[in-house]
Chains A and B, each alone.
Chain A
């Protein structure tokens, strides 16, 4: 029942869902002149840093057999863009319920809508950059029918992210330290995920370690579909498995603790 709630919430509480989305988008850049432009500039600046360090300073070249391209920039972007969406969503999770304390303690409303809208905003905003990247890839001649898998992969990816975000958002109502924990954990996590480097650069023994990293199959799926135009079914199964585990854990903890939110906040 609770799971069904989560799936139907955006439709049942449509006005609220859309309201929170526009609130989130406008709230993010309220008062700034650049506005939505910053959602492009900030990740762009990050990417330029990585490109400069790895492509210009270290002069890393990709092996087309392994990654489907010899350009480090293309390899980097196809993994980094999804990662940025993920880390933005997770990074904002700690303040997701805490920031709504005034509402939670005063108004009875379907709180599920808040993380759903939060995830939606992050993925839509980052989706714009990703779409631009796809167009660029197509112009460069990388376009392929395998890209049709992308919506499915992204959906599974969003479910995985949602579960984690809901879990962390609920946890931080009780343990405020989660915010600090998330910040350091995310940067560590990124370097443990083959985003900046292909997994082939790792030794065999380290690769096993990477396999238990739940973000690995997602990033790998994007790499493979975008550049090598293949769908590794084993990775898809891994990803779906992690998504289900993450979603169920998040929803379970949320339903267990939801009733106490108004008392603790």
Chain B
């Protein structure tokens, strides 16, 4: 394990992490720890919290960290903040680092808000002189000037959060590490906090944010790390990593609900949809499409008895089943299809304008009046990438006009 710190400014990387791993030794009983240290025989089991994580953050960059609960986000933040040490790998940090892992840790309830400002700022590494210079600004920002000399045990939890955030961000660090701390106080104050974070970013500070709010990460961070089970799953531009992560979450939800549904239908339909696939323009199967790409949906169906006449419908739906677009052979004025033998049908979708996210194809075979569904099938999920930051289902060309 190597841990270096230097204080040079400039174009240095704010944080460099190489092959970082963190294992926790977990003991079932306290006596096991003693046994192990005396008998030199392992009495623990290892919990791998982080495994071989490497990345670099240039100074002035903003980095988001996302992942499910227990993916190792908090451990990574703690290591970056210097609270705990990595088991292996190296960590290089440059500049003053302030970490807001839990707002208000270190407050003494008996002391006044003012005393707590001094205590807490000192904990975060400010000198008495610096604290005195910033005291008024902290009180102003927290909007607590009327109650600042009362013991903080009389504060509401929102007031405590406001005070804590005001102190923590007044430290003026080179690197700010924030863990889910932006839901501070009421909505108006929350906005003030986001404003301050944006100010930090403009001021060329390095910011590392861990949050479950994809919106916040997308807005605040240029790059994002997706941690999955302690490993670095993706590291790249926020928009891309986030859409992959969301797609992953949706497929996960899907696979859970699919398990529930698998045993429902055991009938023998006239026509069976054997395969639904998404292909690119030249006919190769794809799992990801980009905005404005032309894609082909390929449907293969097999009749059980032969001679069935019906229609086909193909829709794009979100993973939760919400339909984005549906086209049927009947609506398009096609004659009914006669399923005498295996059929393969392509639906070409030109220049798809779907908002980034995860989707799949839902195909149905119906009777010739398109009234009842004979058989249906869903494709594997595919994701759509886009540089457009808008939200929703469809992208619509737009412009703003201010009067």
Given A23-B111, A103-B106: A108 and B83 within 8 A (CB)?
yes
User: Does B118 sit at the interface, judged by CB under 8 A?
Assistant: yes
User: Which of A22, A23, A103 is close to B105, meaning CB atoms less than 8 Å apart?
Assistant: A103
Interface residue from A15, A30, A108, A263 paired with B131 (Cβ < 8 Å): A15
Is the C-beta of B229 less than 8 angstroms from some C-beta in chain A? no
Tell me, yes or no, whether B24 is within 8 Å of chain A by CB.
Answer: yes
Q: A15-B122, A16-B123, A27-B108 are in contact. List 6 more A-B contacts (CB 8 A).
A: A15-B127, A16-B119, A106-B105, A107-B83, A108-B81, A109-B124
Q: Which residues of A contact B97 (CB under 8 A)?
A: 108
Residues on B facing A (Cβ under 8 Å): 24, 30, 33-34, 78, 81-85, 97, 99, 101-102, 105-106, 108, 110-111, 115, 118-119, 121-128, 131
Cα distance A175–B82 in the bound complex, in angstroms: 24
Binding site for B on A (CB under 8 A): 13-16, 19, 22-23, 26-27, 30-31, 102-109, 174-176, 259, 262-263
Q: Does B128 contact A15, Cβ atoms closer than 8 Å?
A: yes
- List 10 A–B pairs whose Cβ atoms lie within 8 Å, in order of A's numbering: A15-B121, A16-B122, A26-B111, A27-B110, A106-B105, A107-B124, A108-B83, A108-B97, A108-B99, A109-B123
For residue A2, give the distance in angstroms from its CB to the closest CB of chain B. 15
C-alpha gap A224/B118 in the complex (Å): 44
Q: What residues of B have a CB within 8 angstroms of the CB of A31 in the complex?
A: 110
Q: Name the residue of chain B whose CB is nearest to the CB of A14.
A: B128
Task: Note all chain B residues with C-beta closer than 8 A to A14.
Answer: 127-128
User: Is A109 within 8 A of B125, CB to CB?
Assistant: yes
Are the CB atoms of B24 and A107 closer together than 8 Å?
no
Query: Which chain B residue lies CB-closest to A103?
Result: B106
Chain A at the B interface: SS class: helix
From A103, A105, A176, contact of B123 by CB (8 A): A103
| Contacts A13-B122, A14-B128; A175 near B105 (Cβ below 8 A) | no
Task: Assess whether A19 is in contact with B110, with CB atoms less than 8 Å apart.
Answer: no
Q: Inside 8 A of B124's CB, which chain A residues have their CB?
A: 107, 109
Min distance, Cβ A18 to any Cβ of chain B, angstroms:
9
Contact check: which of B83, B85, B122, B126 meets A106 at CB < 8 Å? B83
B30 & A175 in contact (Cβ 8 Å cutoff)? yes
Distance of A263 Cα from B46 Cα, bound (Å): 13
Assuming A15-B122, A107-B123, is B105 touching A263 (CB within 8 A)?
Answer: no
Residues of A within 8 A of B34 (CB): 175
Q: Closest chain B residue to A261 by CB distance?
A: B84
With both beta carbons as reference points, the residue of chain A lying nearest to B86 in the complex is identified as A259
Please judge, given known A-B contacts A259-B85, A262-B83, whether A107 and B101 are in contact too, CB under 8 Å: yes
> From residue B168, how far is it (CB to closest CB) to chain A in Å?
10
Residues of B within 8 A of A106 (CB): 83, 101-102, 105-106
Give chain A nearest CB distance to B291 CB in angstroms: 42
A23 touches B99 (CB 8 A): no
Pair A15/B125 contact, Cβ less than 8 Å: no
Q: Are B105 and A19 in contact (CB under 8 A)?
A: no
Q: B residues within 8 A CB of A15?
A: 118-119, 121-122, 126-128, 131
* Shortest distance from the beta carbon of B132 to any chain A beta carbon, whole Å: 10
**A22 → chain B, closest Cβ, in Å?**
8
Cα A263 to Cα B87 in complex, Å, equals 11
Minimum distance in angstroms from A9 CB to a CB of chain B: 13
Q: Which residues of A contact B30 (CB under 8 A)?
A: 175-176
Residues of the A chain whose Cβ atoms lie less than 8 Å from the Cβ of B126: 15
